[in-house]
Amino acid sequence: MSGAIIELKGLTKQFKMKTAVHKASFKINKGDIFGLIGQNGAGKSTLLKMIGGLLYPTSGDIHFFNEASDKNQLYFERMGLLIESPGLYPAYTAYQNLNLMMIAYGIKNSNEEINKLLQLVGLENEKKLKVKEFSMGMKQRLGIAIALLGSPDVLILDEPINGLDPHGIKEVRELILELNKNGLTIIISSHILEELSKVATQYAIIHEGKIMETISKDELLLKCEERIELEIDDAKEVTPVLEETLNIKHYKVNDQNTIYIYDSQVENHQIVKHLSAKGIAIHSISKHKQGLEQYFLERTGREAAYSDQFI
C-alpha cells in the first residue's frame, strides 16, 4: 500500500495580528490528488507555502517520508511549486524562462525537454513570446510547466485554474489526471469544490485557518448522493418489502430506525403506498440531496454559526 508522503502535525502560522493557519494536522498519501478547499482568505496559500518551504511555521512540524522537514531538506528538491502567481521573468520568453530553470537543475541538452513541456501545457506556439505579453491563463500554464521541470515527486498547485477560461480549465484538469496516472502526488487548492471534485481523491476543508474535515472522495460522494431517507419502527420489517415488492436493490440500513434508499427510479408515494398496505407505520420520508457546494458551505458555515451563539 502507498503510505504517507507528507504529514502535517499541528502546523500553525501566525502573522502579526492574524493566525492564518491554526494547528493543521493531516496526512497526504503517495499518489493522492489532495484537494485543499477553502474560501478566499481561509489560509490555503499560507499552508501550501509552509509545505513548499517558502514560509516558516510558527509552530508544528511538517514531516516528509516520516522525517521532519528540517532534517531532510533533500526532499524539497523533488517538489514542484505553483503558489499564488507563477514566478516568471516578464522580459524573458516562455522558452527562456524554462531554460533558466534547466540551468538551475543542471540539466544538459534541455531543448527537447523544454519543447516537450511547452507542448504538454499547450504553449508550443508561444515559446518565442515574452511573458509580459502573456494572458493570465498562459502564465498559469507556463508556471505549471516550470513546476514540472526536473520530474518532481510532489506537485503543489495553488488555485491553478485561476484566470483560465473553461477550455483552459478542462486542459489543466486533464493534465493533472494524466500526471497523477504516472504516480505524481498532487496537492491542489481551490475555493470551488465542484471543480476540485473532478480530480481530487482526498479532500481537506480549511476554514479560517482550521482544518474542518479531511474526507476521501468515496466518503464525500456517499454523503452527497441523492437518497430517500426513511424513518420507521423496525428496519427488519421494511427491507423485505423494499426488495420484493418494490424491487429496490440499492439501499442501506443506517440503523434500526432509518433506511437510506439510493434507487433513483422509485418515488416516495410508491414506498408509502406499499408499506402502508403491509401495515407498516412511516414516521417520516424525505428526499435528500446535498450538492457538493452545499456540503462545503455547511462545513465552512459551521464555525460562523457556532460563534454566533456567543454574540
Residues in contact with other proteins by CB under 8 A are 49, 52-56, 73-74, 76-81, 83-90, 97, 100-101, 103-106, 146-147, 149
24 in Cβ contact with 38 (< 8 Å): no
| Residue 188 identity | I
CA distance 209 to 205: 10
Q: Which of Mg ion, other proteins, ligand ADP, none binds 103 (CB below 5-8 Å, type-dependent)? A: other proteins
| Least distance in angstroms from the C-beta of 114 to ligand ADP | 30
Q: Which of Mg ion, other proteins, ligand ADP, none binds 42 (CB below 5-8 Å, type-dependent)? A: ligand ADP
The DSSP-derived string for 124-176 is TTSTTSBGGG--HHHHHHHHHHHHHTT--SEEEEESTTTT--HHHHHHHHHHH
> What x-and-dash track marks residues 7-36 binding ligand ADP by CB under 6 A?
--------x--x-x----------------
Read off the DSSP letter of residue 246: S
Which phi and psi (to 5°) does residue 128 adopt? -95, 5
| Least distance in angstroms from the C-beta of 143 to other proteins | 9
| Least distance in angstroms from the C-beta of 44 to ligand ADP | 3
Which of 45/97 has CB closer to ligand ADP?
45
> What x-and-dash track marks residues 36-65 binding ligand ADP by CB under 6 A?
--x-xxxxxxx-------------------
| Least distance in angstroms from the C-beta of 307 to ligand ADP | 16
| Residue 150 identity | G
| Least distance in angstroms from the C-beta of 79 to ligand ADP | 18
SS3 40: coil
- The residue assigned the cell 537543475 is 105
Q: Which of ligand ADP, other proteins, Mg ion, none binds 87 (CB below 5-8 Å, type-dependent)? A: other proteins
Q: Which of ligand ADP, Mg ion, other proteins, none binds 85 (CB below 5-8 Å, type-dependent)? A: other proteins
Q: How far apart, in Å, are the Cα atoms of 56 and each of 2, 43, 114, 167? A: 28, 14, 32, 36
Three cell numbers written together for 123: 504553449
Q: Which of other proteins, Mg ion, ligand ADP, none binds 244 (CB below 5-8 Å, type-dependent)? A: none
Which of 161/259 has CB closer to ligand ADP?
161
Q: Give the list of residues 6+ apart from residue 169 with CB closer than 8 angstroms, or none.
A: 161, 195
Applying CB under 6 A, the site for ligand ADP has a residue count of 11
CA 214 remoteness from chain centre = 10
Q: Are strands 258-261 and 251-255 parallel, antiparallel or unpaired?
A: antiparallel
Kindly tell me which residue out of 28, 38, 45, 227 binds Mg ion, with binding defined by CB under 5 A: 45
When asked if residue 89 is in the footprint of ligand ADP (CB under 6 A), the reply is no
SS3 197: coil
Applying CB under 5 A, the site for Mg ion has a residue count of 1
Which of 45/97 has CB closer to Mg ion?
45
| Least distance in angstroms from the C-beta of 105 to other proteins | 7
| Alpha-carbon dihedral angle through residues 116, 149, 136, 182, given to the nearest 10 degrees | 70
CA distance 83 to 241: 55
| Least distance in angstroms from the C-beta of 57 to other proteins | 10
201 in Cβ contact with 33 (< 8 Å): yes
The binding site for Mg ion (CB under 5 A) comprises 45
The binding site for ligand ADP (CB under 6 A) comprises 15, 18, 20, 38, 40-46
